[in-house]
Amino acid sequence: MIRPDFTGDWRELPVSTLAYIGDAVYELYVRLSLCRRSVFNSGELHRQAIRLVKASAQANGAKSILPLLNEAEEAIFRRGRNSQPSSQSKSADPVDYRMATGLEALIGYLYLNNEEERLLQLMQILVEEKHNVQTEQS
């Protein structure tokens, strides 16, 4: 994937920036995953993606990977979760929103830090397993 040339420490970026990047990476992974496994039309792909990227789904995913995080990853997640958001979601539970922000910050950090193998490992847990469970329940 395209990655900017940066010589600084990604951990020094504002956590909102890490979450902003993480949100984009997460959504792109979800969209590609859905396209790979289905032949839905674009409207159905969009509905499926929304189910997987909404704050409550991300919060549940975050809870499932928390025990797998190393110390540095956990610190980034906590920074994101504990940050004061500049805006509140009108539809998401505040606790879910904060957990989702922590997850997005972690994903953004792993992506920008070029930790592709670790990012893929966590994304597979977050998205692939979540999609399989939701497909079975549908």
Per the annotation, the verdict on 96 as an active-site residue is no
Closest CA to 83 of 118, 115, 108: 108
Cα torsion 82, 85, 90, 91 to 10°: value is: -40
Q: Is the dihedral of CA 50, 55, 58, 59 positive or negative?
A: negative
User: Which runs of consecutive H residues, i.e. helices, occur in the chain?
Assistant: 15-37, 42-53, 55-65, 71-82, 94-112, 116-123, 129-137
Q: Which of 5, 9, 23, 96 is catalytic?
A: 23
- Report the C-alpha gap between 81 and 97 in whole angstroms: 8
Residues that are catalytic: 23
